[in-house]
Structure formats: structure tokens, C-alpha cells
Amino acid sequence: SGAGETEKYGRFTCREYQDVFILWWKGETPMETTFFAPWVEEEVSGFEIMDGSELIKRMRREEVDNELVPRSIEYVNALAIAIGCER
């Protein structure tokens, strides 16, 4: 879980991880979203495969990325460490 404080929302504890699923892919074949059908259609509203560093980059942009759930910088920093994009 993560904790922090924002000017707009005050103090928070975040225990929600449902918006990011991490899968370490070691196969020779590039990963495709079709590998996860029909689970994708039944369980989630959208599905995209991207490198972890690209996700962190998009989450840190100042302009709003309408495809991602907005997160605090504390959340993004903790996620970056957890998925190995930073130390």
C-alpha cells in the first residue's frame, strides 16, 4: 500500500492495485493481447501491453492522460521502484 497527501484531497492510504497488472515475460515471442482472450473481454474494460518504464513515463506527465487512472506522485514513485524502473 502507499500513503501520501495531496493539496486537493489531503491525506490518503491507497491499497488499490487493480489498474496495473505486472507480468514478467521471458518468452522469445512478443506478447500479444490475444494471449489473454477470453479473460480480457470478461474481466476488464480495457487491456494494453506496455513496458513498465513507458507506464511510469505516462503517469508522470503533467498533462492528463485520459487512458490512465490519475495517481499521486508518491504512488507513481513507489510503483516505479516496485516494478524495477527505479531504485
Q: 49-58: per-residue pLDDT in tens?
A: 788 899 899 9
Per-residue pLDDT, 57 = 93
Q: Whole-angstrom Cα distance, residue 87 to residue 80?
A: 8
Q: Whole-angstrom Cα distance, residue 19 to residue 64?
A: 16
The model scores a pTM over 0.75: no
Write the pLDDT tens digit of every residue in 14-52: 755 455 566 667 777 777 766 666 555 555 556 677 888
Tell me what the mean pLDDT of segment 5-22 comes to. Answer: 72
Q: Whole-angstrom Cα distance, residue 87 to residue 85?
A: 7
Instruction: Identify which of 66, 52, 65 has the alpha carbon closest to the alpha carbon of residue 20.
Output: 52
